[in-house]
Structure 1
């Protein structure tokens, strides 16, 4: 019988959160100061918005992006920024 492949990418856990934010750059800066996260990667679009970013907190990755297109940030759904 063939061995099952692991669907979880290396460096990730079974669940990896993806946060859509109104200002991902500001959030990343705050997470760095408040929690000591490490910024792993940041992809910025031509409009200056973050299309994809990853931060590391301990041994976990958290993915972030700015609200754009169909992706709504917290304020658009009645939450806090």
Structure 2
């Protein structure tokens, strides 16, 4: 039986990442385990009641964060009260904008940022409650649009 699911991020500078996540998203550090040389082997951050774990890179064990401009295979979704404000906060803290905040077909207003460590964050808030059938109808309609017209 599964009891919890945690995102576990690997970054090139965990100390700097902890500072960034505090400034960008209001995360608070729960604790960290640091090697004598300073490398952070494990840290836990509280994102409004949700724990995100992170560590420095350990290339000697094949543990590495996103590399260069390569798109990460996972996107983290933050469901917030005000996507515009949280995206602005992330940008002010050093994130880069991948997609400006806008109203989406699935009933959220949201945008996408990339943190300075290469991780992608989809930040959104609910603007309307939709049934799965209505979301599918809107998605189908969107996918039938020519690429130049799609948002």
2:40 and 2:10 map into 1 onto residues whose CA distance is 10
Structure 2: gaps (5+ residues): 72-115, 118-151
TM normalised by structure 2 equals 0.42
SS at match of 1:19: strand
1:66 maps onto 2:56 in alignment: yes
For residues 14-42 of structure 1, the C-alpha deviation after alignment (integer angstroms, 9 at most, x for no partner) is 32100011011111101111111110011
Structure 1: gaps (5+ residues): 1-5, 9-13
1:24 and 1:51 map into 2 onto residues whose CA distance is 9
For residues 23-63 of structure 1, the C-alpha deviation after alignment (integer angstroms, 9 at most, x for no partner) is 11111101111111110011101221100000000110000
Bigger relative contact order, structure 1 or 2 (CA pairs below 8 A, ≥6 apart): 1
Question: CA shift at 1:75, angstroms?
Answer: 2.0
* Cα root mean square deviation, aligned: 2.0
1:37 maps onto 2:30 in alignment: no
Count of aligned positions:
71
1:24 maps onto 2:14 in alignment: yes
Matched residue, 2:42: 52
* Cα contact 1:22–1:75 (8 A) shared by 2: no
Question: CA shift at 1:76, angstroms?
Answer: 6.9
